[in-house]
């Protein structure tokens, strides 16, 4: 029983991951998709403007 409580205390004292560690890859992928969408949309807009 004592080892269980020691393990529980160790887990509770462990540093919890922050938002950056937890969602960092997701946010980077989302930003990359938004940037790609903006670049493609801008390319279409410029192409339509040049074509008349």
Q: What is the pTM of this model?
A: 0.57
pLDDT, one tens digit per residue, over 19-50 is 777 788 899 999 999 999 999 999 999 999 99
Query: How far is Cα 1 from Cα 28, in angstroms, rounded to an integer?
Result: 44
Rounded-to-10 torsion of CA 43, 44, 45, 50: 90
- Secondary element (H or E) of residue 17: none
d(CA 39, CA 41): 5
Integer angstrom CA distances of residue 33 from 21, 24, 27, 37, 40 = 20, 14, 10, 6, 11
Per-residue pLDDT, 16: 76
Residue of 10 and 34 predicted with greater confidence: 34
Model pLDDT, residue 50: 95
In the prediction, which pLDDT does 2 show? 75
């Amino acid at each position: 029983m004592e080892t269980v409580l020691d393990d529980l205390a160790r887990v509770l004292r462990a540093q919890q991951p922050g938002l950056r560690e937890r969602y960092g890859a997701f946010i980077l992928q989302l930003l990359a998709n938004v940037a790609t969408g903006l670049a493609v949309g801008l390319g279409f807009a410029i192409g339509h403007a040049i074509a008349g």
